Structure 1
């Protein structure tokens, strides 16, 4: 009888802990066609919105294409791409980010969000975005 109770409560405990600690869902990415290489000259940029409606800038740099969020990681203000200075700037509190979105100066606690970029055989530019 004791063994039966232990097995019964043990089985219940397993389901209880699975409820408390749910499994992580795999990250789903969706490719979104943004532009073509022909329309994005060297040092050129274009903006678009991600699947959640947040603005993202796509920049054609010497290092390659970069898709970086324009939402500052400090307080959520809009960050602007400054091609003449090769940086992102947040006017709210003077946050400065490099071409890769890394914090250079100011109060932002972490880098800007980056998105993977792909160019297909027809020179179409796709950005992989996280599904909500």
Structure 2
């Protein structure tokens, strides 16, 4: 079961790393990604999106490092908090958005919840592997 969850977390980490790097480093936004349809360059929104894409790169890197690291606790805790507070912000967006729910937002929220659950399961599994007999 943990191999399936690790595989899922690996794919999410790799996708975050690639998409974040692409958005952050490319001169134009991704045209096929629906969330970036109306974003114009040289606006405050474009700057914000590029800033957040840096968070995606960092999150993807930390997630990949967590999967392959020998550390049992620290990185998992950081990722759980990062994912949880990202979801809090996402749900606040649902509350304050008056245009209704968009399909992209619902899918991103579901993937975020699945990622948080996966992180929690793997974190608890690793925590149980720690040998406290020194």
TM-score range, shorter chain: under 0.3
- Bigger proportion of residues as helix: 2
Q: TM-score, normalised by structure 2?
A: 0.23
- Bigger proportion of residues as strand: 1
- Structure with larger Rg: 1
Q: TM-score, normalised by structure 1?
A: 0.23
